[in-house]
A and B are shown apart, each in its own frame.
Chain A
């Protein structure tokens, strides 16, 4: 696994294959938009989706935690698909979640799906967090104070790559001088193309998009 390091507001940021971010100076691992419990969220309406999405997402997070041994794990909001999602966790999912929160101090940033803290799980809840020159929050803000930068989620960026007549659509990191938008890590999450004005209007200049192959990070836009 090879990461790619970028610098925002003098802070070193490592983009990891798979869609997470590692801040080496504070040993902080950042993930976004896990949407735990999405698969079971519509069962009351009679929609019985395969419930494996939650365990699959948690396994991904655990692999990042085990590979990078962070002191702090930050989940950038929409960690849970709805405020009742905690109550629907299966025993196996809860076990995995406990393992994660015991391995690293965990900080849950509130999102629009999980605006209120979910009770009964490890870690702390905050609306936003500051790490050095970096602000970490769920929804990207329009203006960012100069000298600082922002890490956010919410928008699930993805991009189309066209080469030699072959077209790929992949989730991606999207970054400019003052911000980085993380891809959604949740198994059942879709994406928003980076050409959409909701995303492109957040950047003064053309944003850089990074996708990952099996074990490397590549800049593709």
Chain B
């Protein structure tokens, strides 16, 4: 029977998952692959392989363990294929690739156990969708396959159980839950300098000396941050003030694998006092005897914070110690709210959503690459997975047709299909070239391409975003792996760099989404803001800030809905404070700009964070009570949404994952002529001539997950009628400053606002010519 083990982080659950396999394999008569282990991180597989090898070698067991990932050499792959290990450790992407080969059915026919680690980090994501589909294939090759899922504590345990189940239903799975540990010890850590906190910013550099003091007081600390750039900056800031030369390391996903391994080893050996880390240390084994964690910057999600705090539990019977270091004023409120939520054992996060259709399209092609398939059989197979349990036959058919010939309405053009049907109704891939091409496209992670950074002698430092690399000129310096490097030049697909002493280094920007705060946490923040007596726990600079807001404008309270308007940089701004979380505010930003466009105000863009939304126009913005009226939701919202930058971004990812366009590999353009057409252009053409195309439907479905359902906004609009408090200011208010510094601005393109700016630029030229 399949099982799901739910236990707090670091409870040793991963190795527990292997015990039954080790026992079955110990007698030594098993031939072929017995156990497959899949985790979201390559590094985790390597690490587990080492942990498993020790007892196997010590006890002289006849068991072979191997890792398969994107880094595995061609020779080793061939050997693994010919002579399979007993236990293979891999990632969802490498497994998908294995399944695209015709010998997959023979290879996996001996498989008894599938171990899925970190289920909570996979379920509900596209990588998870892919893994669930791969698992359904494995069950076809080996019908008696057992699945053992391992998960951190989550808000929806039975949905997780369904996710590992062979039928997509929780009923077929044994659920094992470990007890919660001792209540953790959580405090908010304020920066020095009498608790001064900046307006905005997410780096928390001002807390460096306070963090150092805390590091010095413990044996081993993990300093968790929210982004790779923040990790680099904070690492530098800590070393600048590190008078005692405490050994502090750095760990993030863009560092060279060898360097990461060194840091992990040093942690395990007790040679480090602290490690600055991103989510790269969220998952996996205990890396050492961690005494405390410091979360720098907003924790964003209670469940994630709880998991991070769980890293500091090397003594099960003692409380984990955690410090939350806010990076700006709003984050103080958020840290305070998160601290209380963790102590109440709250968990957040939605149950896993339905499987994405673009991932299904990729799976259809993966299956076809391995051999012909019957659509009827495949449909039943796919529906045995939890993500695609509710998949309709129509959607499935349209996806298959998309893979087959594009599925376009315009198609009178019969030649060049990707799949063909034989007389038995089986579908085959048309030729080897398409198979080869497609295998390079497998995977559901859509990242900006990364370039390796090496010294002249070939020493690897790590990797940086291709776009960031393109902005560097020789002589520029940048931070990577905590080292200051000088950019020498670009050689093929490698960035050459040398250590440098230059000043003002740049920090590599990495793509990737910002986490949105959970709605529960946003509500807690609003409650603190509404109750001035509760401010006493806040640092003085934050109290002053809120007091200043009350004097210059108003405070958003439980009874009023504050909307500020003010001129700023030649534009007219509107800032509203609903405290409904970023997703709801994104939707509201779309609605507001739509209405402003309709009423001729020339909106140019909007930006949202977890607390508020701002939009700006070329013309004065008119009455706020009219703008925020109930019929804000009327009119043709679908069209406006379809035009938005958000949908275009979603489509880009869908197009890559579904195989509509090819991935961009840096350097590959040189070898062959590439068809790089902006996905925006494809999107526009598809909308115009094929509005019901399955990929557009997939795009809309996915975008809607990122936007709050309109029902909730409609409720908000009802609530605020009669309570809207417009405040007209001569300049930006204290509370609005953070949102204006927020990243992720959405532009309104091709509307009245842009027309106005173009006409204005033209007038300037006419004036200049007269003079």
Contact = CB atoms under 8 A, between A and B. Distances in A.
29 contacts: A38-B677, A43-B416, A44-B416, A45-B433, A45-B437, A46-B416, A46-B433, A46-B438, A48-B416, A49-B406, A50-B686, A50-B689, A53-B681, A53-B685, A55-B410, A56-B688, A161-B761, A163-B760, A164-B570, A165-B569, A166-B753, A187-B681, A188-B681, A190-B677, A213-B755, A214-B750, A214-B755, A216-B759, A218-B758
Given A165-B569, A188-B681, A219-B765, A41 B675 contact: yes
A56 B684 CA distance: 10
A46 B569 contact: no
Interface of A: 38-53, 55-56, 88, 90-92, 161, 163-168, 187-188, 190, 211, 213-214, 216, 218-220
Contacts of A50: 406, 408, 410, 682, 685-686, 689-690, 693
A51 B412 CA distance: 10
Contacts of B138: none
B315 interface: no
Given A42-B675, A52-B688, 18 more contacts: A43-B415, A49-B682, A50-B689, A51-B413, A52-B685, A53-B685, A55-B689, A88-B413, A90-B413, A163-B757, A165-B569, A165-B570, A166-B757, A168-B749, A188-B681, A188-B682, A190-B677, A213-B755
A56 B413 CA distance: 17
Contacts of A213: 754-755, 758-759
Contacts of B766: 219
Interface of B: 405-406, 408, 410-413, 415-416, 418, 430, 433-434, 437-438, 569-571, 604-605, 618, 660-662, 675-678, 681-682, 684-686, 688-690, 693, 747, 749-750, 753-755, 757-762, 765-766
Report which residue of B405, B433, B761 has the largest number of chain A beta carbons within 10 angstroms of its beta carbon: B761
A49 B757 contact: no
Contacts of A56: 685, 688-689
Report which residue of A46, A47, A92, A219 has the largest number of chain B beta carbons within 10 angstroms of its beta carbon: A46
Nearest to A188: B677
Given A161-B757, A187-B681, A220-B758, A166 B413 contact: no
Contacts of B759: 213, 216, 218
Contacts of B569: 164-165
Contacts of B681: 53, 187-188
Contacts of A41: 675
A55 B684 CA distance: 13
B678 A219 contact: no
A49 B677 contact: yes
A48 B410 CA distance: 12
Nearest to A38: B677
For the complex of A and B, the 3 pairs showing the least CB-CB separation, nearest first, are: A48-B406, A52-B689, A43-B416
Contacts of B749: 168
A211 B413 contact: no
A65 to B, nearest CB: 20
A41 B418 CA distance: 14
Contacts of A51: 406, 408, 410-411, 413
A40 to B, nearest CB: 6
A41 B753 CA distance: 37
A52 B682 CA distance: 9
Nearest to B410: A51
Nearest to B419: A46
Nearest to B437: A46
Contacts of A161: 757-758, 761
B399 to A, nearest CB: 13
Contacts of B760: 163
A171 B677 CA distance: 15
Given A42-B675, A219-B762, A220-B758, A166 B747 contact: yes
Contacts of A42: 675
B686 A52 contact: yes
B677 A220 contact: no
A27 B413 CA distance: 36
A168 B151 CA distance: 46
Contact of A47 (B408, B661, B689, B754): B661
Nearest to B402: A48
A46 B434 contact: yes
Contacts of B682: 49-50, 188
Nearest to B365: A46
Contacts of A218: 758-759, 761-762
Contacts of B753: 166
Nearest to B570: A164
Given A164-B570, A218-B762, A46 B418 contact: yes
A88 B415 CA distance: 9
A211 B758 contact: yes
Given A52-B685, A52-B689, A164 B571 contact: yes
Contacts of A46: 416, 418, 430, 433-434, 437-438
Nearest to A213: B755
B743 to A, nearest CB: 14
A163 B605 CA distance: 13
B413 A40 contact: yes
Nearest to A190: B678
Report which residue of A45, A50, A92 has the largest number of chain B beta carbons within 10 angstroms of its beta carbon: A50
A46 B684 CA distance: 21
A122 B128 CA distance: 54
B410 A164 contact: no
Contacts of A164: 569-571, 604, 618, 757
Contact of A163 (B411, B685, B761): B761
B414 to A, nearest CB: 11
Contact of B604 (A166, A187, A216): A166
A39 B433 CA distance: 19
Nearest to A48: B406
Nearest to A89: B413
Given A44-B416, A164-B570, A165-B569, A49 B761 contact: no
Contacts of A187: 681, 684-685
Nearest to B754: A168
Nearest to B761: A220
A168 B754 CA distance: 8
Nearest to B753: A166
Nearest to B416: A43
A52 B410 contact: yes
Contacts of A219: 761-762, 765-766
Contact of B418 (A48, A91, A168): A48
Given A55-B689, A56-B688, A49 B660 contact: yes
Nearest to A217: B762
A49 B681 CA distance: 11
Nearest to B405: A48
Contacts of B618: 164
Nearest to A167: B747
Nearest to A42: B675
A219 B749 CA distance: 19
Given A51-B413, A52-B689, A166 B433 contact: no
Given A163-B761, A164-B757, A213-B754, A90 B570 contact: no
B761 A47 contact: no
Report which residue of B410, B433, B662 has the largest number of chain A beta carbons within 10 angstroms of its beta carbon: B410
Nearest to B672: A45
A205 to B, nearest CB: 14
A45 B431 CA distance: 10
B255 to A, nearest CB: 33
A47 B675 contact: yes
A212 to B, nearest CB: 8
Contacts of B571: 164-165
Contacts of B410: 50-52, 55, 90, 92
Contact of B605 (A91, A166, A188): A166
A53 B753 CA distance: 28
